[in-house]
Structure 1
Amino acid sequence: MKKETLFIAFTTQKGGVGKSAMTTITASILHYRMGYNVAVFDCDYPQWSIVKMRDRDTKTVIESERFKLLAYEQFTSINKKAYPVISCKPDEVIQKAEVFLKETPIDFDFVFFDLPGTINSAGVINSISRMHYIFSPIIADRLVLESTLAFMNVLNGVLVKGGDTGIKGIHLFWNMVDGREKSELYAHYDHIIKELDLSLMKTYLPDSKRFRKEMSAQMENRQISRSTLFPIDRRLSKFARIEEFITEFLQIVQH
């Protein structure tokens, strides 16, 4: 009998705040480094940014002797293939995910969904309502925060508290935090989040240009940050507080 697979989405109402990046980084650490079985459904139609990243990553491995060796060493070490990245429109993703899980012999621990950044896309609300956990990156930008908090407040009030959903938790987390900004700014927003009865993760992720770079054939001696084929470099993940984030993430989803 297969174990329960958790459906998890990193979602937000605004683009450019790290939704797809955090999906990729989290999935890669869990699958390649921590022994979990992971699948990713990219339903951010028509961008399909994670699917396109997988294509670029695959091309990079083919063109680079360094990455060919790393891929071979990783495969022989963990004896696992790369996690699947499947493109799908948001109105059909739940059905496709359920068929995928039923037909595969692998017991998947997590399926991550990269959903569109707008509820106007067909099927988005229904797909969100079928998640077990939702994680939403927020940044200290007034327009981004107002949009995200309003959306999450509706989800929390209508779906979670209404009981007509499988959602077990909605969790916000600060991303791209600029250390030069006054702490009072974040304290103010933290208070508003608390008043809205929304959950805020303790871990915040600092702003870093290194954190945003994808794997490429030109970075032969540089640290890997974002990739669908390798986990983020341990030194970089420690600097970017990703290790703390993953620990808190697993505590929340009870794994």
Structure 2
Amino acid sequence: MKTKKQPTVVAFSTQKGGVGKSTFTTLIASLLHYQKGYQVAVFDCDFPQYSLLQMRERDLKMVMQNETLKKMAHKQFTSINKKAYPIFQSKTGKVLEEMEAYVNGLEIIPDVIFLDLPGTVNTAGILRTLVNVNYIFSPITADRVVLESTLSFTDVLTNVLMKENQTGIKSIHLFWNQVDGREKSILYKNYSKVITDLGLHLMETTIADSKRFRKEGEMLAKTVFRSTLLPADSKLLAQCRVDKFIEEFLRIVKL
């Protein structure tokens, strides 16, 4: 009997809120699904705000009210001949079972399932969920609190659980986000040395700081960046280096 293909499960996870995990989930999911030809699904477990579900509602409203975006969406969905990727509301304690039930009920299995998880280890069921994720990507900033909380947690996952084979995690990758060109490169160099000395993986691509990461959609916009219905504009991606990030991401997850 032929074994059913299983999706690759990915999470952008941190132990500190506000460093971009929901934004990166949206950016990468949309690029993969709408531009790169992959089948994607997302489970939003970020209770109680469920920011990705809220974003999908905003995106639908924007596309319906903005003629430029409406034409872009019509052209896209006609050419790729598939629907928008689904976003399901879930909770960390239930998502593994809900994800399994979803996959078992499908004929076409997603290539990637993204989990958008809460930014705290104290959330019920989060550790059990994380150890069943295949690839974890953690955005970090040159902020001592962000770094210390992320590094201590990543260290436990990498050097305790993974080494004892108690997990489905294949690899965990940290990456610099919100890199300000005015900050001293020696700061990043020193922090990067600490990360590699701990035996943790640090991605080559760094994400440039941009107001785009903090800017919600505008009704008069003629381009998109963070959208669950359209891939980000290529020029905006290049400005933030997300175009390089997706190339490195695909090499890591081996889709």
TM-score, normalised to structure 1, is 0.97
- Provide the aligned C-alpha RMSD in A: 1.0
Residue aligning to 1:232: 232
Query: 1:180 aligned to 166, 182, 192, which one?
Result: 182
Q: In structure 2, what residue type is equivalent to 1:247?
A: E
Residue aligning to 2:101: 99
Residue aligning to 1:156: 158
Residue aligning to 1:243: 243
Secondary structure class of the residue paired with 1:170: strand
Residue aligning to 2:215: 213
Secondary structure class of the residue paired with 2:172: strand
Deviation at 1:189, TM superposition (A): 0.5
Deviation at 1:212, TM superposition (A): 3.4
C-alpha distance in structure 1 between counterparts of 2:142 and 2:189, whole Å? 11
Residue aligning to 1:38: 40
Q: In structure 2, what residue type is equivalent to 1:175?
A: N
CA contact (8 A) 1:212 1:226 kept: no
Deviation at 1:39, TM superposition (A): 0.4
Residue aligning to 1:80: 82
Q: In structure 1, what residue type is equivalent to 2:30?
A: S
Residue aligning to 2:128: 126
C-alpha distance in structure 1 between counterparts of 2:104 and 2:245, whole Å? 30
C-alpha distance in structure 2 between counterparts of 1:10 and 1:162, whole Å? 23
Identity fraction in percent: 54
Displaced runs of 4 or more, over 6 A: none
CA contact (8 A) 2:20 2:213 kept: no
C-alpha distance in structure 2 between counterparts of 1:226 and 1:217, whole Å? 13
Q: In structure 2, what residue type is equivalent to 1:193?
A: I
CA contact (8 A) 1:43 1:87 kept: yes
Deviation at 1:116, TM superposition (A): 0.6
CA contact (8 A) 1:211 1:240 kept: no
Secondary structure class of the residue paired with 2:41: strand
Residue aligning to 1:69: 71
C-alpha distance in structure 1 between counterparts of 2:215 and 2:231, whole Å? 13
CA contact (8 A) 2:23 2:213 kept: no
Residue aligning to 2:50: 48
C-alpha distance in structure 2 between counterparts of 1:94 and 1:81, whole Å? 24
C-alpha distance in structure 2 between counterparts of 1:50 and 1:157, whole Å? 31
Secondary structure class of the residue paired with 2:113: strand
Structure 1: unaligned runs, 5 residues or longer:
none
C-alpha distance in structure 2 between counterparts of 1:188 and 1:239, whole Å? 25
Residue aligning to 2:253: 253
C-alpha distance in structure 1 between counterparts of 2:241 and 2:175, whole Å? 12
Query: 2:18 aligned to 6, 16, 34, which one?
Result: 16
C-alpha distance in structure 2 between counterparts of 1:47 and 1:203, whole Å? 29
Secondary structure class of the residue paired with 1:39: strand
Structure 2: unaligned runs, 5 residues or longer:
none
